Amino acid sequence: MANLDTNSEVHSADVLILGAGLAGYIVANRVKELNPELSVLLVEKSTAGWSGSKANKGAGVMWVMEEKDDVGKFRDYYSAHHGHGLEDQELLEKVCGTTLEMVGHLERWGVNVAREADGSLARSNLLPLWALCAFDLDILMKLRKVATKYGVKSVDKTQVVELLTQGNRVVGAVGFDITDGTFRTFKAKAVVNATGSCCWMVSNMWSSARGDGIAAAWRAGAKMRNGEFSNFYNLGLRGNQAAMVGSQYALYNADNEWIAKRYCPDFETDVDLGIILGMEKEVRDGKGPISFEETELFYNNPLAVGDFLFRWNRPNAKKFWQRLWEGEGKYNSDRSWRPEVIPMFIGECSPVMTDHDMRSSLEGMWVLGDTNRSGAGWAGAVPPPSRIRGSGLTWASVSALLGSKSLADYAAGASDPVIDEDQVARFREALYAPMGRDRGLDVRESIFRLQEVISPPRYSARKSAGRIGESLARVDEVLHEVDEVTPGGDWHVLGLCHDLKNMAQCAEIYFTSALARTESRGWHYREDFPQRDDATWRKWVDVELRDGKAVVSTTPLPFERFKTPAVVDPWFYETMYEAIR
């Protein structure tokens, strides 16, 4: 049996930030600027400013609304084609109106945002209603420098496992050091949950997103919203999982038929569910595998990989992506290059519900970035990245900016937290329980069993009550396995045991919400309810844990305050869903 006689540490701060990703760093810096007197502490599972965060791994492309971009037109377009009438239009407008401010803060903090020689923002000009701009991948190192100057403290290699509560208020967290097992208690007047989304460890580059903070918030009683939109698929190369962004126009079936004609004949700003369902149908019809061959449409697409990644002067991003593509040998103009392309499951469960100031349903807890991207409601019936590349980085930054003022004010006026030592003791015992097992199940096998009912298109692209039921039953089995997995005395694997529980609970949120929405809308396609039903379902599905059970409720959208009326995109419901039957 492993030695469980671990050290203990207690840390206190006015503002405790869980997760040192882009959202975590921006809110840390902003809170210090708004009120330098507040002590701010970042807790990071990996190394703050370096690993863990997705911003370092990404393409660095961000969505910006410049002055010349018409927010009203964008909102109308977004509602019809992306949000499908489920978007919070007021928050959507607020986000649009904050993107230029975001660029200003980033540049002020030393981030290299690409600009043209005349000083204007470098943007991809091919998109009609919004701008795609970019920064380089050293962004977190720049933000960390500023945070250090401001006196923000950080604790690394610490996996936060549970939130501490005082009634309905969140007053801290507990976790452990993934290198030596040290038990850490964190006390705070205000807590920011910026631990990221859940992607269920299916695709390598997204595997840092294991839903830790979402599941901890779920266990603490926080409300979740839009969990049914946790099902993003990228187009990816079989083998190295490189994303083939924009490649929907370059896909052929085994009979050499160009399949975009059937599944995405219109201009698509990003991967839509139609092409994912279509690829699966071709394979089911015996016309697989699907392969990639460049077409003019592909080249003319603003998201085509060459333009998207290499256009701007960003030395770090260039090095990162070139290395990835070198593995494939000849990404370029060789039209005989025909690799197999698959629907690559990403996931992106991000359901923690927040208001427009990023306050959760639990007092004292703000939620930002990938943790609340669906839960905040602005995106509507589409999983992240909302069919707008660049919205991940932008939302992480903008949500941090939108939340920082109310957070700083609250922390300045809040009473000292009262820690329930019994709760700490209970959490501590449960946290180390797997280490006490000499024998048990292999946690990696349990994770694989969970992935089997999440990633295949028949579970996450086309859903039905029957298959959602199968998924929920498997999730339940996996949740029971949580009490039997053993880390074999390894602190890192202890972390994986907690990841298993967190990912299973995120799956429970996802499938419970998906079962409740008995219609099809945007990226939520139910074979048993193929029509969009505005009369019944222009509502958000909310789920929360009550007495150990997932309880579903609905909240009507305040659409009487919205400027864009609900418009049904006929192609989507009458043509696309027909085509894949």
What is the nearest approach in angstroms of ligand FAD to the Cβ of residue 413?
A: 26
Beta carbons of 41 and 15 less than 8 angstroms apart = yes
Q: Look up residue 233 and give its two tokens.
A: 């698929």
Q: Look up residue 68 and give its two tokens.
A: 């010349």
Q: Look up residue 240 and give its two tokens.
A: 């190295």
Of 513, 519, 538, 525, which is closest to residue 85 (Cα–Cα)?
Answer: 538
What is the nearest approach in angstroms of ligand FAD to the Cβ of residue 375?
A: 12
One residue of 2, 15, 17, 18 binding ligand FAD per CB under 6 A: 18
Which of 215/543 has CB closer to ligand FAD? 215
DSSP 3-state of 205: helix
194 binds ligand FAD (CB under 6 A): yes
Question: What mask, x for binding ligand FAD by CB under 6 A, covers residues 360 to 389?
Answer: ---------xx------------------x
Binding to ligand FAD in span 276-295, by CB under 6 A: none
Which of 45/526 has CB closer to ligand FAD? 45
| Sign of the CA dihedral with 336 first, then 339, 340, and 344 last | negative
396 binds ligand FAD (CB under 6 A): yes
203/526 Cα distance (integer angstroms): 24
Angle at 569 between CA 567 and CA 572, to 5 degrees: 150
Question: What mask, x for binding ligand FAD by CB under 6 A, covers residues 200 to 239?
Answer: -----xx-xx--xx--------------------------
Which residues fall within 8 angstroms of residue 406, CB to CB, at 6 or more apart?
Answer: 357, 358, 359, 366
Which residues fall within 8 angstroms of residue 71, CB to CB, at 6 or more apart?
Answer: 65, 93, 96, 97
Question: What mask, x for binding ligand FAD by CB under 6 A, covers residues 36 to 75?
Answer: -------xxxx-----xxxx-xxxxxx-------------
DSSP 3-state of 373: coil
What is the nearest approach in angstroms of ligand FAD to the Cβ of residue 269?
A: 14
What is the nearest approach in angstroms of ligand FAD to the Cβ of residue 491?
A: 14
Which of 210/467 has CB closer to ligand FAD? 210
134/63 Cα distance (integer angstroms): 8
One residue of 364, 383, 390, 487 binding ligand FAD per CB under 6 A: 390
Which of 63/252 has CB closer to ligand FAD? 63
Q: Look up residue 250 and give its two tokens.
A: 């370059």
Helices (H) and strands (E) in the chain, counts: 20, 18
Beta carbons of 250 and 387 less than 8 angstroms apart = no
What is the nearest approach in angstroms of ligand FAD to the Cβ of residue 236?
A: 11
Which of 143/273 has CB closer to ligand FAD? 143
Which of 287/311 has CB closer to ligand FAD? 311
Residues that bind ligand FAD (CB under 6 A): 18-24, 43-46, 52-55, 57-62, 159-160, 175, 194-196, 205-206, 208-209, 212-213, 369-370, 389-394, 396
